[in-house]
């Protein structure tokens, strides 16, 4: 899990969700009406955020850097066993790409600061 230390200098947007990132960077929803996030104004704008991917049998965490042109996975790691069951219960064991829970965010912050 030490690989996250490499990314501690990134300005992670802990409130960004997969849905909001798509809306801001890929959809026509990029506007000031989404008061939770600043609108994207330039092609060079980017955001860095985490997602939990449950499409595979074992859920993974991905650190994503999104621009208008691409979404790049900077890191992919397994969801720790102590967080896995609670998360999967919360999402009803459904497949998808989700924002991390507060518990997962706390764990990620700790991993990035170690």
- Tens digits of residue pLDDT in 63-92: 999 988 888 999 999 999 999 999 999 999
Domain assignment present for residue 77? The answer is yes
pLDDT at site 8: 77
Q: What is the pTM of this model?
A: 0.85
The predicted pLDDT at position 24 comes to 80
Give the residues of the chain that fall short of pLDDT 50. 1
Give, for 53, the enclosing helix (H) or strand (E): strand 47-53
Is 60 inside any structural domain?
yes
pLDDT at 4: 78
- 23 in helix, strand or coil? helix
β-strand pairing of 97-98 with 47-53: antiparallel
In a domain, 38, yes or no: no
Q: What does the alpha-carbon distance between residue 6 and residue 63 come to, in Å, rounded to a whole number?
A: 12
What pLDDT, on a 0 to 100 scale, did the predictor assign at position 5?
Answer: 76
At residue 22, the pLDDT reads: 83
Please report the pLDDT score of residue 39 as a whole number. 67
**Residue 55 resides in a domain:** yes
pLDDT at residue 28, as a whole number: 54
Domain that holds residue 79: 2-17+47-113
In this prediction, residue 95 carries a pLDDT of 97
pLDDT at 43: 76
Q: What local confidence, expressed as pLDDT, does residue 3 receive?
A: 74
Residue 82 belongs to some domain of the structure:
yes
d(CA 67, CA 43): 7
The answer as to whether 24 is a domain residue is: no
How many structural domains is the chain composed of?
1
Any domain includes 11? yes
Q: What is the CA radius of gyration of the chain?
A: 14
């Amino acid at each position: 899990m030490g690989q996250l230390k490499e990314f501690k200098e990134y300005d992670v947007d802990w409130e960004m969700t997969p849905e909001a990132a798509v809306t801001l960077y890929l959809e026509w929803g990029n506007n000031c009406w989404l008061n939770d996030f600043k609108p994207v104004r330039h092609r060079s704008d980017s955001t860095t955020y985490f997602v939990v991917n449950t499409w595979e049998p074992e859920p993974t965490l991905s650190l994503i850097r999104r621009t208008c042109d691409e979404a790049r996975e900077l890191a992919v790691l397994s969801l720790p066993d102590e967080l896995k069951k609670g998360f999967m219960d919360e999402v009803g064991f459904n497949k998808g790409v989700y924002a991390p829970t507060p518990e997962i965010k706390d764990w990620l912050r700790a991993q990035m600061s170690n």
